[in-house]
């Protein structure tokens, strides 16, 4: 979410997560159903954020994720959105507290001696 210095309710954050994956047509339908949205100035919404939101929708061919689609940390999109504020906090804390992978955790693969490996 965009840092604006304004306290945002958990309910608004949940709706925002769902709306971010809407297609252009779905956003137009939402504005049609809630005309007050036309009058609201976004808080701290920058060009970069809008660019990446459009890029995400383009890469997904305008299709929002389904509730049963894998999302993050072993959860589906629907399971993640259903988390309470407390559960979400615990989820992120646990996700980021996992230990780093060790080199021994990685599986080796045999490659040809003339194989081109991209730099990363």
pLDDT of amino acid 100 = 64
pLDDT of amino acid 48 = 63
Q: How many domains does the chain contain in total?
A: 2
Which token pair is 98? 């996992």
Best CA proximity match to 41, nearest among 1, 4, 15: 4
Judged against a pLDDT cut of 60, whether residue 46 lies above it is answered with yes
Give the burial string for 70-88 (b: 16+ CB within 10 Å, else e). Answer: eeeeeebbebbbeeeeeeb
Residue 47 counted as domain residue: yes
Judged against a pLDDT cut of 70, whether residue 32 lies above it is answered with yes
Q: Are residues 60 and 74 in the same domain?
A: no
Q: Are residues 55 and 74 in the same domain?
A: no
Residue 74 counted as domain residue: yes
Judged against a pLDDT cut of 80, whether residue 65 lies above it is answered with no
Judged against a pLDDT cut of 70, whether residue 79 lies above it is answered with yes
């Amino acid at each position: 979410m965009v840092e604006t210095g304004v306290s945002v309710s958990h309910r608004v954050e949940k709706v925002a997560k769902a709306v971010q994956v809407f297609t252009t047509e779905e956003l137009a339908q939402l504005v049609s159903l809630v005309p007050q949205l036309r009058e609201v100035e976004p808080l701290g919404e920058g060009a970069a954020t809008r660019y990446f939101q459009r890029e995400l929708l383009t890469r997904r061919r305008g299709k929002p994720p389904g509730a049963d689609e894998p999302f993050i940390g072993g959860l589906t999109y629907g399971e993640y959105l259903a988390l309470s504020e407390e559960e979400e906090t615990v989820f992120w804390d646990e996700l980021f507290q996992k230990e780093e992978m060790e080199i021994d955790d990685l599986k080796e693969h045999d490659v040809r001696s003339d194989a081109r490996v991209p730099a990363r």
